[in-house]
């Protein structure tokens, strides 16, 4: 099943009850460096939770992090930077294959700005590789890929007519079984004559189809994925540039807002179409999710404080 990153992260993005610990670890392959960051995260948690949890409750809350210090093999399984997400009843670790700064936040929701950047930058995509007698479907991201299916028509019956008909019948069946596929770009590579014929019969949004001017070989497909990733990176840059131009135009028409108090009130009412958030800046305080009222603190004061920019990003 091809599952969107937004869906797989839904439980993290939507969690808003109780104490939340979020820690991002910079993974340079140095076990001691990782463990020092975990120690730092535990120190932050103790600083903010000592007054609201008993010693036994705090020990239980931090036990998964303590386990990471004791079992080095867990950390060795992570090849990218690491996200740690802990509540009283849940613990989750993620490979976060984008640049992160070491950070620990204790609040009433998870700190998700790095995840939102990951969602925006590391879009899932599909690759359809067409050879003379077979077609293969893959899912991919900026950091990995997965083979989904291969159809070899040299062993298939003639039930569905010519080669192109048999290809497209199998492909359309695959795509119909992939729940979120029609939101993902579909890259086609292979014999250009075959690709052009297949495209005409695909049941897939034309705007999501990208034809690569490359041949396809299952055993040597790395260049295809590199080309797809480069295309998506360029598309992400274009999308951001277009959004910035749109913001500048809205600002000239006095339809844009930079005041955090007014932004908060508009956010809880669902009146924001696009929100630009600076990841490197944190403004700690509290957001009233009902009224949009905001209180700002000079620093991370307690476990109910959160980065308001992070809260607003989740709200929008």
User: DSSP states of 244-267 as a string?
Assistant: HHHHHHHHHTT-----HHHHHHHH
H/E element holding 294? strand 294-296
Superfamily name and number for 125-231: eRF1 domain 2 (3.30.420.60)
163: nearest Cα among 194, 141, 193: 194
Intra-chain end-to-end CA distance of the chain, in Å: 28
Q: What does CATH list as the number for 5-111?
A: 3.30.960
Show the low-confidence residues of the chain (pLDDT under 50).
1-2, 157, 160
pLDDT value for 193 = 85
pLDDT value for 155 = 60
Burial group, residue 282, by CB count within 10 angstroms (0-12, 13-18, 19+): middle
CATH 3.30.960-classified regions of the chain: 5-111
pLDDT value for 134 = 86
122: nearest Cα among 211, 5, 38: 5
pLDDT value for 157 = 47
CATH 3.30.420.60-classified regions of the chain: 125-231
Place of tokens 């937004």: 6
């Amino acid at each position: 099943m091809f599952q969107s990153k937004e869906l797989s992260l839904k439980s993290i993005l939507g969690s808003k009850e109780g104490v939340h610990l979020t820690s991002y670890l910079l993974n340079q392959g140095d076990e001691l460096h990782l463990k020092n960051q975990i120690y730092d995260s535990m120190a932050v948690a103790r600083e903010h939770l000592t007054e609201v949890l008993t010693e036994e409750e705090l020990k239980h809350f931090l036990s998964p992090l303590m386990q990471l210090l004791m079992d080095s093999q867990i950390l060795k399984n992570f090849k990218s930077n690491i996200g740690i997400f802990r509540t009283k009843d849940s613990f989750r670790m993620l490979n976060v294959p984008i640049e992160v700064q070491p950070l620990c936040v204790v609040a009433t929701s998870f700190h998700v700005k790095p995840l939102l950047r990951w969602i925006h930058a590391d879009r899932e995509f599909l690759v359809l590789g067409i050879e003379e007698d077979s077609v293969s479907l893959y899912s991919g991201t900026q950091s990995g890929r997965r083979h989904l299916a291969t159809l070899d028509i040299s062993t298939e019956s003639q039930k569905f007519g010519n080669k192109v008909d048999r290809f497209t019948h199998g492909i359309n069946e695959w795509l119909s079984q992939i729940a979120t596929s029609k939101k993902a770009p579909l890259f086609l590579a292979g014999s250009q004559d075959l690709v052009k014929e297949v495209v005409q019969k695909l049941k897939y949004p034309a705007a999501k189809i990208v034809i690569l001017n490359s041949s396809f070989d299952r055993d040597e497909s790395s260049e295809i994925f590199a080309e797809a990733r480069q295309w998506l990176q360029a598309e992400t840059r274009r999308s951001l540039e277009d959004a910035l131009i749109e913001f500048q135009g809205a600002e000239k028409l006095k339809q844009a807002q930079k005041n955090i108090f007014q932004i908060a009130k508009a956010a809880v009412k669902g009146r924001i179409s696009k929100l630009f958030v600076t990841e490197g800046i944190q403004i700690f305080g509290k957001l009233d999710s009902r009224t949009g009222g905001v209180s700002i603190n000079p620093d991370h004061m307690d476990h109910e404080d959160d980065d308001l920019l992070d809260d607003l990003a989740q709200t929008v």
